[in-house]
Amino acid sequence: MASDASAVKIVNNMQEYKAAADVKSKLVVAYHTAKWCGPCQRIWPENLAAKYGDKVSFLKVDVDEADDVAASNSIRAVPTFILLKDGGKVEELVGASSAALVASIDKHVK
């Protein structure tokens, strides 16, 4: 699995997604995005990754490149954030509201 300079892991296929999402010790936020999506560029979770540190793991899924992951998660719009805890989905947010995303993360982080 490749990753950029931040704490956000780039997921390229379903195998990588399953491995990265099955974390028992912390919240996982899967950020479904696309290069052509303007609102997606404004809500890049890099700063949130720095804010939450090791309490939250962030995954970036490009829906055009990892279309198997997008199909499996029934992604219909981008950006979509899927919050996972203990390997299971606990919440899904659609849209580029950083305030809503922070509120959801805070609700699930101990």
Enumerate the active-site residues: 37, 40
DSSP β-ladder status, 8-11 and 88-94: unpaired
Of 79, 4, 92, the C-alpha closest to 42 is 79
The alpha carbon of residue 76 and the mean position of all alpha carbons in its chain are separated, in whole angstroms, by: 15
Q: How far apart are CA 46 and CA 77, in angstroms?
A: 21
- Asked if the model's pLDDT at residue 3 lies above 50, the reply is no
Domains and CATH numbers, the chain: 9-109 (3.40.30.10)
For residue range 4-40, list pLDDT tens digits in order: 445 899 999 999 999 999 888 899 999 999 999 999 9
H helix runs in 1-110, sequence order: 14-21, 38-42, 46-52, 67-72, 98-108
